[in-house]
Amino acid sequence: MRKIPTLFQRDHTTRPAHVTPTVNPDCQWVIDGEGTPTRKWDGTCTMLDASGEWWARREVKPGKTPPPRFVAVSTDDATGKTVGWEPMTQSSFAKIQAEAVTNTGPTKPGTYELLGPKINGNPDDYAAHVLMPHGWASLSVHEDLATAPRDYNGLRDWLHVRPYEGIVWHHPDGRMAKLKARDFPKPAA
């Protein structure tokens, strides 16, 4: 799990740092029409490894000591934050994750988004905690995502009228790019 680059470059002089119309050079392939869009869920990332152990995504700020058994994956050059995995058993999400496993029962190794009443304000209004496989969405959402434009103004307008946190594009070669609705300045009233 590497940090997924944002489609457009950020203006770090604003708070929050919104995206600008300048395309991140590492993500030009999205603008060129490559890759498949999927829904970005507003939860917290978890992973089931091949040995059956659950892990929680964790960010460690510069100068902070990582938790025991932390597995670093990458460090953001701009912020100095290290992203990686910590064992779910020591995560603050352990109890909620156990409930989600009971409710949805995924057994296939991979990454999942933990969603539900006690996660990020529950924007999707789940009645119970669930695990959503990354890249999965209903057919109607896949069809809607296929209509997403691939330019700054079009994506801004498109995302601001939908209930999605954002989009993650998947390139056939494994690259990914993301964009969240809140990456844009709020539309004028």
The pLDDT value recorded for residue 60 is 95
Is the pLDDT confidence value at 23 over 90? yes
Is the pLDDT confidence value at 149 over 90? yes
Average pLDDT (30-39) is: 95
Residue whose tokens read 């995302």: 159
Task: Read off the pLDDT of residues 60-99 as tens digits, 9 standing for 90 and up.
Answer: 999 999 999 999 998 888 788 999 999 999 999 999 999 9
The pLDDT value recorded for residue 1 is 58
Amino acid (one-letter) located at 88: M
Yes or no: say if 174 and 1 are a contact pair by the CB < 8 Å rule: no
Task: Indicate whether this model's pTM tops 0.85.
Answer: no
The pLDDT value recorded for residue 112 is 92
Quick one: which H or E segment has residue 29? helix 28-31
Yes or no: say if 165 and 181 are a contact pair by the CB < 8 Å rule: yes
Question: Which of residues 164 and 138 earns the better pLDDT score?
Answer: 164
- Pick left, alpha or beta for residue 116 (phi over 0 → left; psi -120 to 50 → alpha; otherwise beta): left
